[in-house]
């Protein structure tokens, strides 16, 4: 049996698989997330096709993955129409999500990497939707013990800012995806292995002190944003469980709470070192 565990967003995922010695190795981006903590989610890796009933298709993200549900059982088929047989897999779990089966469809009799593709990200999105948190498209940094989120969709400049902060000696938790959770009366942000072009991935967590929505421009400026505008921008950049009405309601409430209690602004920036100095001035 093979066994290892990862801690992502203060959630521990364990992996176990029987049968032949596994062929996969821990991807570089995941190595900083290895832990020996007791698992919150247990993933069992299996060879062959799932025998779980597919049920009705409830969400489709062509051509990468499709989700099916029958009663409380969810099955996510990944790379069914794209990849070689060895890369196809099916993730099966039930609510509440505490365990999951991950089936590899290849005929070689050896496991392929569980870290390939969106498998673990989909697992985490569904787990966090159970009242625990959300994944957001954002660059996240820790500076002087404070966390700042630079929120934006692809092409907004997150990786550029991440590289600039790194050059300035500031720790970058992620240049593309951050997990946000509320604990007590504080919001926490955590780095993830699901990095962007700049490849920053840290397991650290820090409280969220500021949210800046990115917009590239010719000058650096800041504009305060309140109310529904902040919530709408967070929703646009969130990885939301559209297939789960309760999870959607929780996610919207979480973003509303975040926008209400953490200062939010639109940050128009020049993609150079001056943007870093500008943020230092406005955040202290």
- pLDDT, one tens digit per residue, over 128-187 is 999 999 999 999 999 989 999 999 998 999 999 999 999 999 999 999 999 999 999 999
Choose between 10 and 227: higher pLDDT. Answer: 10
| pLDDT tens-place string over residues 72-90 | 999 999 998 866 777 889 9
Would you say 43 and 14 are in contact if contact means Cβ atoms under 8 Å apart? yes
pLDDT of amino acid 22: 54
Question: Could you give all domains of the chain from N- to C-terminal order, each with its CATH number?
Answer: 2-128 (no CATH), 134-283 (3.90.228.20)
Residue 120: closest CA among 226, 29, 188, 218: 29
Q: Hey, what's the torsion of the CAs at 76, 80, 84, 90, to 10 degrees?
A: 20
Q: What is the DSSP letter of 125?
A: H
pLDDT of amino acid 1: 42
| pLDDT tens-place string over residues 190-246 | 999 999 999 999 999 999 999 999 999 999 999 999 899 999 999 999 999 999 999
Q: Which residues of 4-39 are buried (b: 16+ CB within 10 A; e: fewer)?
A: ebbbbbbbbbbbebeeeebebeeeeebeebeeeeeb
Question: What's the rounded mean pLDDT across residues 22-51?
Answer: 87
């Amino acid at each position: 049996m093979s066994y290892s565990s990862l801690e992502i967003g203060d959630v521990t995922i364990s992996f176990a698989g029987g049968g032949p010695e596994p062929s996969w190795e821990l991807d570089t981006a995941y190595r900083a997330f290895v832990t020996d903590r007791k698992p919150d989610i247990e993933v069992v890796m299996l060879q062959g096709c799932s025998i779980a009933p597919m049920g009705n298709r409830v969400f489709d993200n062509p051509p990468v993955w499709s989700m099916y549900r029958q009663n409380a059982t969810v099955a996510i088929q990944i790379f069914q129409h794209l990849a070689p047989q060895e890369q196809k897999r099916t993730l099966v779990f039930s609510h509440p999500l505490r365990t999951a089966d991950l089936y590899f469809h290849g005929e070689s009799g050896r496991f392929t990497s569980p870290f390939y593709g969106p498998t673990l990200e989909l697992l985490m999105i569904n787990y966090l939707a159970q009242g625990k948190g959300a994944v957001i498209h954002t660059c996240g940094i820790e500076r002087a013990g404070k966390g700042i989120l630079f929120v934006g969709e692809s092409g907004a400049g997150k990786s550029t800012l991440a590289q600039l902060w790194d050059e300035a000696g500031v720790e970058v938790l992620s240049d593309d995806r951050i997990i946000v959770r509320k604990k007590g009366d504080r919001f926490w942000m955590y780095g993830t292995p699901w990095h962007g072009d700049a490849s920053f991935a840290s397991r650290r967590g820090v409280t969220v002190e500021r949210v800046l929505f990115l917009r590239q421009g010719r000058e650096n400026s800041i504009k305060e944003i309140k109310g529904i505008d902040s919530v709408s921008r967070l929703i646009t950049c969130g990885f939301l469980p559209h297939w789960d009405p309760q999870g959607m309601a929780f996610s919207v409430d979480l973003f509303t709470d975040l926008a209400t209690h953490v200062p939010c602004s639109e940050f128009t920036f020049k993609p150079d070192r001056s943007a870093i100095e500008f943020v230092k001035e406005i955040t202290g």
